Amino acid sequence: MIHKILENGHLQVTIPFKFRTISSRKKIVVPGTIADGTEPLALGLARAFRWQRYIDEGKFRNIRELAKAIGQDETAVAKTMRLRMLSPAIVHRIVTGDIPRSLNLKNLRQGIPDVWSEQEEKWIGGEVLSWGKG
């Protein structure tokens, strides 16, 4: 965000953004923010990490107990929790709303490669953020 005071005393605020098509809808995405709090991938990712924290903290012993407590199918909970295995570059793309068409819940539910570089090649064309390269 850029602030500038104009000659007439008004404040001009410039916010960089880009238009993205997500789930067949045009959205305004501000870099560094989640495009929309209800986006399926962002929501799934948040749930995956929260549910794992519940298990780690001992609130639930396993996925079966967790699924029963939240009233969801055990298989669906397990598939959502696999999102924790995504590479940092892919997680970053999801959180910032910069999601290519190939990166969606349907494709992710078909299996997530164990190796991060394979995930990135498969879903974001090997395009990695500069901080993601060693």
Distances (CA, A) of 60 to 55, 76, 132: 5, 17, 33
Label each residue of 80-122 as H, E or C: HHHHHHCCHHHHHHHHHCCCCCCCCHHHHCCCCCCCHHHHHHH
Whether the predicted pLDDT of 131 surpasses 70? no
pLDDT higher than threshold 90 for residue 94: no
Torsion of CA 36, 21, 49, 124, to 10 degrees: -150
Q: Residue 24's pLDDT is what?
A: 65
Is the pTM value of this prediction over 0.75? no
Q: What is the DSSP letter of 57?
A: T
When the pLDDT of each residue in the chain is averaged and rounded to a whole number, the result is 82
What pLDDT does 34 receive? 53
pLDDT digits (tens, 9 = 90+) for 118-130: 999 998 886 654 4
